[in-house]
A and B are shown apart, each in its own frame.
Chain A
Amino acid sequence: MSAFVGKYADELIKTAKYIATPGKGILAADESTGTIGKRFASINVENIESNRQALRELLFTSPGTFPCLSGVILFEETLYQKTSDGKPFVDLLMESGVIPGIKVDKGVVDLAGTNGETTTQGLDSLGTRCQEYYKAGARFAKWRAVLKIGATEPSELSIQDNAKGLARYAIICQENGLVPIVEPEILTDGSHDIKQCAAVTETVLAAVYKALNEHHVLLEGTLLKPNMVTPGSDSPKVTPEVIADYTVTALRRTVPPAVPGIVFLSGGQSEEEATLNLNAMNKLDVLKPWTLTFSFGRALQQSTLKAWAGKTENVAKAQATFLTRCKANSDATLGKYTGGASGDSAASESLYVKGYKY
């Protein structure tokens, strides 16, 4: 085959398919220590290990949320953490039908000679690290490539380098039993219109799938985590139906049917926006050979974080808030969301941060 079929092939295909189950999606809880620090700062919580553990325990023990989730992406520290009564998080998740995943990239660095474009690092000893993560219970991985739209961006160099980095990461994961989530995020920053975002998204995704083919990646054992196609952050907003139309068209033009699921990132969208957009896509009456679901970080946790504010007495309330967002997004994957999941103003709050440093 053109695709590499290693000893994990069947397992990879099964895992990828499971993650893409309609009605389920991914909680991206893989904020690095630095990034989670920023979140904590916004709710006046100290960035220490016990607080990071407490937040994740809050999320992973929220009653009723497991049926809405097929996977959770973890940061390395969290992969080895336990609940307060000593149960490893990975065991808790696995027992509840939620597959643990692991962020494996090591952040972005600038591409010299470009206008602030970046490439992602993390390939060194990636195979060995994947083996360790597999032993610890992880069954999928995530690597975030970042591109931007500008007068002369994304450049051909940026597209090629990020696409090839993703492909190399993907095949190494598959050699070691982890389903690679391929994430080529095109930032919303800018004053471009939705057509420009669509054109760039199509060009980037075409390059990504060419690279995956060249590197013999088994598409049936991968997932795609793209941006939705939207106007730039400085441009007038459009309706969820328009976003759905442009997004699904772009995906139909570039993502081979062999890919079982597409798990959108939320970028700077508010919780409610992200859910409404996902819902509109699933309502669209057009042939979609992959499931369309979520892999949300901020768009699942924002209200929950605010409700918690680091206080034990708020845990139950925070968990109820989290359940509301999980259910809303689960409905959205089925095109059944009717809007207004919570009266919480936080749900409508834009989570956009200019030049967002992950």
Chain B
Amino acid sequence: MSAFTSKFADELIANAAYIGTPGKGILAADESTGTIGKRLASINVENVETNRRNLRELLFTAPGALPCLSGVILFEETLYQKSSDGKLFVDILKEGGVLPGIKVDKGTVELAGTNGETTTQGLDGLGDRCKKYYEAGARFAKWRAVLKIGENEPSELSIHENAYGLARYAVICQENGLVPIVEPEILVDGSHDIQKCAAVTERVLAACYKALSDHHVLLEGTLLKPNMVTPGSDSPKVSPEVIAEHTVRALQRTVPAAVPAIVFLSGGQSEEEATRNLNAMNQLKTKKPWSLSFSFGRALQQSTLKTWAGKEENVKAAQEALYVRCKANSEATLGTYKGDAKLGDGAAESLHVKDYKY
């Protein structure tokens, strides 16, 4: 095979397919210590380990949430944390039918000579780290590459560097039993229209799949985490149906059928926007050989965070808010969301932060 045959092949294929189960999706709870600090700051909560642990316990024990999820992406610290009654988070998730995943990249660095474009680091010792994560219970990984749209961006250099970084990360994961989520995020920043976003997305995804082929990645044991195709943040909004049409067409033109599932990132979209767009895609009557689901961070946690505000007495209400978003997105993967989710505080709030530093 062009794809390399790993001893983990069957397991990778089974896990990737499971994550793509219709009705389920991924909670991205892998905010680094720095990033979660910003979230906690927004609700006046101190960025200490107990608070980070409390937040994740709130999320993972929310009644009704786990059945809507097939995976949760964790930051390294969280992979080894326990609930307040001493149970490892990874065990809570596994018992709830949710695969633990792990963020393995080490952030972005600038590409010299470009206009603020970046590449992602994290390949050094990645194989050993993956082994350790597998031992700790992780079964999938995530690596975020970032591109932007501008006059001369994304440059061929940026596309090539990010695509080949993703490919190298992907095959190392597969050698060590982790399903790689391939995430080539094209930021929404800018005043470009949806056609431009579509053109760039198609170009970037084509480069990604060429790179994955060159690196002998087993596509059946991977997932794709792309941006939806939308107008730039400074451009007029369009309907979910228009977003769905452009997004699915871009994917039809670039993502081979061997990929079992596509799990969208939410970028700066509000909770409700992200859900409606995903729903519209799943209602579209056209060829979709991969399932279309979610891997949302902010778009699943925003209302929950605000409701919690770091207070013990708010936990129940915060968990209820999380359940509402999980259920809404679960329905969206089936195209049955009626838009009637009890909008929590901030559910309609845009989560766009210009030039978002992850």
A pairs with B: yes
Contact yes or no, A2 B287, CB < 8 A: no
- What does the 1/0 interface line of B205-249 toward A look like (CB < 8 Å)? 011011001100001100000000000000000000000000001
Interface positions of B from 51 to 100, Cβ below 8 Å from A: none
A354 at the interface (CB under 8 A from B): no
B252 at the interface (CB under 8 A from A): yes
Contacts of B206 in A (CB 8 A): 2, 209-210, 213-214
Chain A contact surface mostly? helix
Contact yes or no, B257 A207, CB < 8 A: no
Interface positions of A from 187 to 221, Cβ below 8 Å from B: 195, 198-200, 202-203, 206-207, 209-210, 213-214, 219
Contacts of B207 in A (CB 8 A): 210
Contacts of A210 in B (CB 8 A): 206-207, 209-210
Contact yes or no, A202 B1, CB < 8 A: yes
A332 at the interface (CB under 8 A from B): no
Q: Which one of B102-110, B194-202, B296-304 is at the A interface?
A: B194-202
From A210, which residue of chain B is reached at the shortest CB distance?
Answer: B210
Contact yes or no, A257 B202, CB < 8 A: no
Chain B contact surface mostly? helix
Contact yes or no, A254 B202, CB < 8 A: no
From A214, which residue of chain B is reached at the shortest CB distance?
Answer: B206
- What does the 1/0 interface line of A232-274 toward B look like (CB < 8 Å)? 0000000000000000011011111110000000000000000
Contact yes or no, A253 B3, CB < 8 A: yes
Given the known inter-chain contacts A1-B199, A287-B289, please indicate yes or no for A256 contacting B255, CB distance below 8 A: yes
A339 at the interface (CB under 8 A from B): no
From B254, which residue of chain A is reached at the shortest CB distance?
Answer: A256
Q: How far is the CB of B254 from chain A (nearest CB, A)?
A: 6
Contact yes or no, A256 B199, CB < 8 A: no
A311 at the interface (CB under 8 A from B): no
Contact yes or no, B203 A257, CB < 8 A: no
Q: How far is the CB of A209 from chain B (nearest CB, A)?
A: 7
Given the known inter-chain contacts A203-B213, A209-B206, A289-B289, please indicate yes or no for A255 contacting B2, CB distance below 8 A: no
B122 at the interface (CB under 8 A from A): no
- What does the 1/0 interface line of A153-195 toward B look like (CB < 8 Å)? 0000000000000000000000000000000000000000001
Q: How far is the CB of A193 from chain B (nearest CB, A)?
A: 12
A253 to B4 Cα, complex, angstroms:
13
Q: How far is the CB of B167 from chain A (nearest CB, A)?
A: 12
Interface size grouping (class) on chain B: 20 to 34
Contact yes or no, A252 B256, CB < 8 A: yes
A213 to B213 Cα, complex, angstroms:
15
Contact yes or no, A289 B257, CB < 8 A: yes
Q: How far is the CB of A13 from chain B (nearest CB, A)?
A: 12
Query: Of the candidates B195, B199, B219, which one forms a contact with A253 in the assembled complex, judged by CB atoms under 8 Å apart?
Result: B219
Contacts of B258 in A (CB 8 A): 249, 252-253
Query: Of the candidates B3, B195, B214, B289, which one forms a contact with A257 in the assembled complex, judged by CB atoms under 8 Å apart?
Result: B289
A77 to B228 Cα, complex, angstroms:
49
From B260, which residue of chain A is reached at the shortest CB distance?
Answer: A287
A41 at the interface (CB under 8 A from B): no
Contact yes or no, A2 B202, CB < 8 A: yes
Contact yes or no, A253 B287, CB < 8 A: no
B253 at the interface (CB under 8 A from A): yes
From B255, which residue of chain A is reached at the shortest CB distance?
Answer: A256
From A212, which residue of chain B is reached at the shortest CB distance?
Answer: B206
From B248, which residue of chain A is reached at the shortest CB distance?
Answer: A257
From B213, which residue of chain A is reached at the shortest CB distance?
Answer: A206
Q: How far is the CB of A222 from chain B (nearest CB, A)?
A: 11
Given the known inter-chain contacts A210-B206, A210-B207, please indicate yes or no for A287 contacting B199, CB distance below 8 A: no
From B286, which residue of chain A is reached at the shortest CB distance?
Answer: A257
A3 at the interface (CB under 8 A from B): yes
- What does the 1/0 interface line of B173-213 toward A look like (CB < 8 Å)? 00000000000000000000001001111110011011001
Q: How far is the CB of A170 from chain B (nearest CB, A)?
A: 14
A residues with a Cβ closer than 8 A to B are 1-3, 195, 198-200, 202-203, 206-207, 209-210, 213-214, 219, 249-250, 252-258, 287-289
Q: List 6 A-B contacts (CB under 8 A).
A: A2-B201, A213-B253, A249-B258, A256-B255, A257-B289, A258-B252
Q: Please give me the 6 A-B residue pairs with the lowest Cβ-Cβ distance, nearest first.
A: A202-B2, A206-B213, A2-B202, A213-B206, A210-B210, A258-B252
Given contacts A213-B253, A250-B2, A252-B258, 5 further A-B contacts (CB under 8 A): A1-B202, A202-B1, A213-B202, A257-B288, A258-B249
